Structure 1
Amino acid sequence: MNMNNKIYANVTASNLRTTTGALQSGAEQGDGFRRYRLAAVCLGLLGLVLLGVAAFLCIKYRTERDQVLDRYTGLHEDLLANYSSCEKQKVQLETNYSSLVKERDQLSSLRSMLEAKVTQLEKQFQEFNCRIFQSATEDTWNMSRKYCREKGGDLVMIKSKEKQTVLNEMRLNGWIGLSDESVEGKWTWVDTTTANQTFWDEGQPDNWGSVDEDCAVFHSKDDDPPLTWHDHKCSSKHLAICEKSAFQ
């Protein structure tokens, strides 16, 4: 091989290596570019995803914030309404309490008056040497008298204005021990004595309805002197006004 052929061979080999290296370098650059572009696309997509997530979280936060604010506003309004209602109830309770205190004081005063009145009446009945009591249920005149006798007494006899007045002040209503069953028109007490002093109400006794009303009933009223006696059928039912000795 001559010198020219050697030089040509060297140049050809050198060019081939250069071309191959250039091709390899270009391929590597192309691969790197594609990787960079893929990375850029991925980063862009990731950015979009993050932006979407951020937007979603922002919207969710605002929605939840608005809901919390709405609940807070509702609770605040409810609390204000409840507070106002409690204040009104407090005022009403204070008013009711004041009314109850006044009523209690009035009842206490009334109780004291009644106790004093009872004491006075007891003293008055001690002067009559008797105690007055009344049945709890209504019955006929005969059964009412039986009740009184079983309790150690009898139906009450009223032979003075003083006793009539005291019984009326006690606001009693019921059978008394007076009848004209034995002789029509002759009113006698249960001890068989004749009723000389009487306290018949106006128009009484009247045998109303043309029936025998042979037994006397006491109806308390505001009269002075109190005229409280009425004649009734002995079979009608009333409470019994009983009396017995103060020493029994």
Structure 2
Amino acid sequence: MDDYINEEVVEIDKVIEENKNGAMRRVTTETHHSGPDGSERRLYRMVAVSFGMLCVLQVALNISLRLESDSLTEERDQLPTSYNNLTKERDQLQREKDDLMEKSSNPSWNKFESCWYFVSTEGKTWNESRQDCVARGADLVIINSRKEQRFLFALNKRFWIGLTDSETEGFWKWVDGTPLITRYWVNNQPNNGGSVSTFPGEDCVGLRDGQGQPEKTWNDLNCAEKLNWICELCNNNLL
């Protein structure tokens, strides 16, 4: 009888132990699953990175919008200046157009290649002639080529050109300050009136007519003599 009772007690102890161990395993399993697993942690990291990228993009967008806004403001502020410049250019073009129309209808102006030439009908001193040209928005003619020299010779007039050595004797330069390079002097010219010491000398250049040698027509003369003159105006906007 005692043995039987002991066996029952042992069986009961086994059942209790098994139940205890099972409960502990469940608690351990449940405890293990209560925290985030590996996939959940990766998801959290992805969300955090995405949020960070969104913040960076937002900052970049704000900077871009600010820069664009500043640029638009600057362009807006420049509009009045641009408008004024365009207005001035328009007015200048209109004046040049009117000037072209006036020259085209005026027989005193002759066109050759890219320039206009005013041929006077009266005589003045070299300085007075130049003043007249300047008042017309031009200057005494500067001869730059053999073709231009021949064109002027064909006008068959005796006139002043824009060449002088009044500043330094023997150093000839044009009215725009450039030194003389190509020369179309009459034989034995320039001679300063026959003597270097002659006063007031011959410091201005006139073009002779009717000599039959178009490339030998320049002559130095006393600037106080009165000749016809030719003004030259070269402006590509008038073409």
The TM-score, its normalising length taken from structure 1, stands at 0.45
In our comparison, the structure showing a higher alpha carbon Rg is 1
More helix by share: 1
The TM-score, its normalising length taken from structure 2, stands at 0.47
